[in-house]
Chain A
């Protein structure tokens, strides 16, 4: 693996660019996860499904 940061890999992205695209995915997953958690807690508060 090359350490040259400016090398364009076959994906058409350099290492930094690929990392940035990946960071959007990670951030999105985190936000979605947090939102899903809050939504589940709220639903559980009004209509409990665990007894």
Chain B
């Protein structure tokens, strides 16, 4: 009798079970848009982490907590340390061994845990760092090390979630719909950044230590909730793959990287991404002080500049999705994006040389448009050229290069801005000269990116042709050799 009850209970449990498991039972061929939309929620949490670190906490730590600006800069730069490790994370997810046949979801979950953990201790770490309450008497290293740990955890988690999340998205869709997925991912990142900037700004208007704890830990909870929702039932459980995983020995990272970088045009694509991202990266930081100081915009006007830049970028994503979805070449579109950025920056420079605000606004929109086209095209190119068993590594390499150069671009622009704003007013050079020098440097980087892309387009074609020839050449002797081998 007892056994029957147990059997009955187990059967009921088993029939309920799979519905409540976080992985899908079958892999479907066509992934509906609603599911991709849900997956893209992880980008919202990444955007939220970026805004909280670079925007909100940057201000709160300096203004409200009175932490020295140089220390704040060092703390906020810490997550950048993890950016190059993205390639390794992506590779690890490619060769992950799991009895369930999962490759991506375990890493997204781990990254989510790190993000959550970092946010959970961050407010207390910041309060101790600033010497709040009894923490004045606490040894200095406690605040320093715990704040560093919090920023490192959030950074590592966000890098992990984004790299492996993008790899999962690439796994799920076929090549024709990749441009749309890239567009969706970028738009959701932007949406996450804009929304959380507005929400954090409103919530922290009346600062109090309690409010800081609420806001940051609230961000932690929202991160876990959105990431869980994003990865729920996205990756299929797969016994066949699990058996293959158990049998094959994972390729070491060094070898996998060697194979990857030897692929046609891979190295040049990464160079282009680095140059272009650096070129576009500094605009965000410098446009606001430039508009305020040189063109006499008010604070409210300068914040609208950021909206204008983001609007241009959004249009760029939309256009890129459409063109690449119709079968365009991502390399050519990336070239177009970088080329559009050059007159954009030129217009911004011209605005201070007698062009006026209209040139500046037009330049801002055009630069945003170029950045959108370029970013979208480069990610699509990465996805398209990724071998099926190296998707994680390919997107990890993209992320490593992109995040590092974007971080360096923003940091360089920030240093330049501080130098400009703190420089003693000299009569010999006009105020707009240092800004224009930085914008000129951006143009130079974009021209270099264009050059590298042209080389990639021309060199890639010849490489393809020679590869084709060598394949044809080697195929013929192979056929002849077969009977010999058989005998």
Residues of A within 8 A of B (CB): 10-12, 14, 16-17, 19-21, 24, 27-28, 31-32, 34-36, 38-39, 42-43, 45-48
Contact = CB atoms under 8 A, between A and B. Distances in A.
A32 B120 CA distance: 10
A27 B7 CA distance: 31
A10 B99 contact: no
Contacts of A34: 117
B11 A10 contact: yes
Given A10-B10, A24-B109, A38 B134 contact: no
Interface stretch (B12-20, B357-365, B464-472): B12-20
Nearest to A30: B113
28 contacts: A10-B7, A10-B10, A10-B13, A11-B10, A11-B14, A11-B17, A12-B17, A17-B99, A20-B99, A21-B100, A24-B106, A27-B110, A31-B113, A35-B116, A35-B117, A36-B120, A38-B121, A38-B146, A38-B149, A39-B124, A42-B124, A42-B142, A45-B128, A45-B138, A46-B127, A46-B132, A46-B135, A48-B134
Interface string B110-144: 10011011001100110110001111001000100
B98 A46 contact: no
Q: By DSSP majority rule, is chain A's interface helix, strand, loop, or mixed?
A: helix
B134 A45 contact: yes
A46 B134 contact: yes
A37 to B, nearest CB: 10
| Nearest 10 pairs of A and B residues by beta carbon | A42-B124, A16-B99, A46-B135, A10-B10, A35-B117, A46-B133, A20-B99, A10-B14, A45-B138, A17-B99
A10 B242 CA distance: 20
Given A16-B99, A21-B100, A24-B106, A42 B14 contact: no
